[in-house]
Amino acid sequence: MDDTRRYILAITGASGASFALALLRRMILEPAVSQVALLSSPTGRRCLMDETGARLDDLAARAKGPGGADRALLLDENDLGAEFSSGSCLHGGMAVVPCSAGTLGRIASGTSDNLIVRAADVCLKERRPLVLCLRETPLCRIHMENMLKAHDAGAVVMPLSPTFYHSPKTIDDLCDAFATRVMDLLGLRQGDAGRWKAAADAKRPDRA
């Protein structure tokens, strides 16, 4: 297995679990991804169940890629001895979707008190992609200062703000389009992404 084709997806305790599911679906089907390491905080698991009716272990069990291969690895967020705690463990990057304000604060402070925060810390120190999809509103000064600290350390802070220029018809459309943007930031380009130029040209009267 090419270690650099492995990616980490963490789900933390904020609303927006559907965005994580959309990203997981994309990552599993992407040929450039060999494995997705799944992490979740306790509150993240609760939000996942409350908002989608899904359990993380069920998602991992059902995560089959092309040819039926198992593509997800479920990890214990308290296992600081896991390989992703070390910078010597190679992988392609990490996304936290959704990222709670508390998780953002711990990452910005470098506490490394669980595997989610430690894996994010490793991404920063090893200069690997780290995308933090913050879900919090309104924002107080503490949140904004933590966003700036994470940004200055090398993370991409990408608030859970879906786009509408691709004419979404369902909530799933919104989540899927957002997932393609996260994939872009992880270096995983998606050919079917609803990008602005294509969407704008499609609506021009002379293109009807």
First CA to last CA distance, the chain: 47
**How do beta strands 93-99 and 35-40 pair?**
unpaired
Q: Are 145 and 31 in contact (CB under 8 A)?
A: no
pLDDT tens digits for 86-112? 999 999 999 999 999 999 999 999 999
Q: CB within 8 A of 153, min separation 6: which ones?
A: 108, 124
Helix/strand/coil for 96: strand
* pLDDT confidence of residue 63: 74
**Mean pLDDT of the region 178-202:** 77
* The model scores a pTM over 0.75: yes
Q: How far apart are CA 167 and CA 3, in angstroms?
A: 37
**Mean pLDDT of the region 98-127:** 97
Upper half-sphere CA count for residue 113 (Cβ side, 13 Å): 10
Task: Using the predicted structure, report yes or no on whether residue 148 has a pLDDT greater than 80.
Answer: yes
Q: How far apart are CA 92 and CA 34, in angstroms?
A: 10
The whole-chain average pLDDT of the chain stands at 89
* pLDDT confidence of residue 165: 84
Q: Are 78 and 115 in contact (CB under 8 A)?
A: yes
**Mean pLDDT of the region 14-35:** 93
176, containing H or E segment = helix 171-185
pLDDT tens digits for 65-92? 665 557 889 999 999 999 999 999 999 9
- Could you give the angle at the alpha carbon of 160 between the alpha carbons of 22 and 66, nearest 5°? 15
Considering only residues 179 and 63, tell me which one the structure prediction assigns the higher pLDDT.
179
- Closest-CA residue to 188 (of 44, 80, 64, 91): 91
118-151 b/e (C-beta count within 10 Å ≥ 16 → b): bbbbbbbeeebbbbbbbbbeeeeeebeebbebbe
Q: How far is CA 185 from the centre of its chain?
A: 10
Within 10 Å of residue 61's Cβ, how many Cβ atoms? 12
**CATH 3.40.50.620 is right for the domain spanning 3-207:** no
130, containing H or E segment = strand 130-134
